[in-house]
């Protein structure tokens, strides 16, 4: 039997072009952040000038600090709630309101952010809540816990359930079986979920714009208002710093998922 060659030249070309398309713009941005020239397009030699500028910009630093705090707190709450939701969906069999529950968890994944942002803001106004750190944190938790739930649920789905059942046959109660057997097995997915929630929160502009109050802008809000005024070399530097931070997060997450795949099969999606 004649065998089709698996990888044609067309396949290789489309892969190479696709990856170049995905990475070149970011690479160019990073390189230009070290440009000494004020003109973004003229190369004036290597320099850390724009990084100095950023660290001297108090408003930017405050916004960055706010973003980091929101990202860390919302990711933590979201990981807790998302993991609980994933456990309920993949181990809870049937329960009343299950369809509504999964619907509420999957819809925010694709819901346009303007809708989520507007609706949460109207809730906060109705509750007369002071807008700032906590309102943004709650809003981001609501969005990101859905991503955590999907990541953890897909890991739970691929686990061999006879392990939990064996633990219970040996006398563990369900909670103990979960903590002793299931939790260590899904821990890498939980870590990956936290990282994903963290970066999504760090990244969000629209929902944060709706739910924050005066005087507590997040980094994307500040970046956005600067970008609207045109390209500034300082923004290149800030973006590069954010990319570097996220790169660290990704390395940790991929180490976690490597740990996960050495314990069982397929790692979590996204």
**Residues 204-263, interacting with other proteins (CB under 8 A):** 205-206, 209-210, 220, 223-224, 227-228, 231, 235-236, 239, 242-243, 246, 249-250, 254
Q: Are 238 and 54 in contact (CB under 8 A)?
A: yes
Please, what is the minimum distance in Å from the beta carbon of residue 97 to other proteins? 7
Cα separation, 76 vs 197, whole angstroms: 8
Tokens 């359930």 correspond to: 161
**Tokens 């994944």 — which residue?**
109
Q: Which of residues 181-200 bind other proteins (CB under 8 A)?
A: 196, 199
- Which one among 125, 179, 180, 248 touches other proteins, defined by CB under 8 A? 125
Cα–Cα dist 200/208, whole Å: 11
Nearer residue to other proteins within complex by CB, 52 or 266 = 266
On whether the CB atoms of residues 197 and 79 are closer than 8 A, the answer is yes
Count the residues of the shown chain that bind other proteins, applying the rule CB under 8 A. Answer: 106
State the nearest-atom distance from the C-beta of 56 to other proteins, in Å: 21
Structure tokens at 118: 């507007």
Spatial CA neighbour of 216 closest among 95, 94, 66, 80 = 66
The interface region with other proteins, picked from 44-52, 54-62, 146-154, 183-191 by CB under 8 A, is 146-154
Q: How far apart are CA 184 and CA 170, in angstroms?
A: 18
Using the rule CB under 8 A, which residue among 48, 114, 183, 259 binds other proteins? 114
Nearer to other proteins, 22 or 59 (CB): 22
């Amino acid at each position: 039997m004649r065998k089709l060659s698996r990888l044609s030249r067309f396949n290789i070309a489309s892969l190479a072009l696709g990856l170049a398309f995905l990475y070149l713009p970011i690479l160019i941005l990073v390189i230009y952040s070290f440009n000494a020239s004020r003109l973004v397009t003229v190369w004036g030699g290597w320099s850390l000038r724009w990084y100095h500028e950023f660290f001297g910009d108090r408003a930017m630093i405050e916004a960055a600090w706010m973003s980091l705090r929101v990202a860390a707190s919302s990711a933590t709450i979201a990981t807790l709630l998302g993991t609980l939701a994933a456990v309920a969906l993949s181990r809870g069999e049937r329960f009343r309101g299950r369809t509504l529950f999964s619907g509420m968890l999957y819809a925010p994944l694709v819901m346009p952010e303007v809708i989520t942002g507007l609706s949460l803001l109207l809730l906060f106004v109705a509750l007369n809540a002071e807008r700032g750190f906590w309102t943004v944190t709650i809003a981001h938790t609501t969005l990101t816990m859905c991503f955590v739930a999907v990541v953890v649920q897909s890991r739970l789905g691929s686990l061999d359930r006879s392990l939990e059942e064996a633990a219970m046959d040996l006398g563990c109660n369900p909670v103990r079986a979960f903590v002793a057997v299931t939790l260590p097995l899904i821990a890498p997915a939980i870590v990956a979920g936290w990282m994903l929630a963290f970066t999504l929160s760090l990244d969000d502009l629209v929902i944060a714009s709706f739910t924050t109050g005066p005087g507590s802008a997040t980094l994307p809000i500040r970046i956005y208002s600067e970008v609207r005024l045109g390209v500034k070399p300082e923004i290149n530097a800030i973006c590069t710093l954010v990319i570097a931070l996220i790169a660290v997060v990704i390395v940790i997450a991929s180490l976690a998922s490597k740990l996960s795949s050495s314990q069982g099969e397929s790692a979590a999606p996204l």
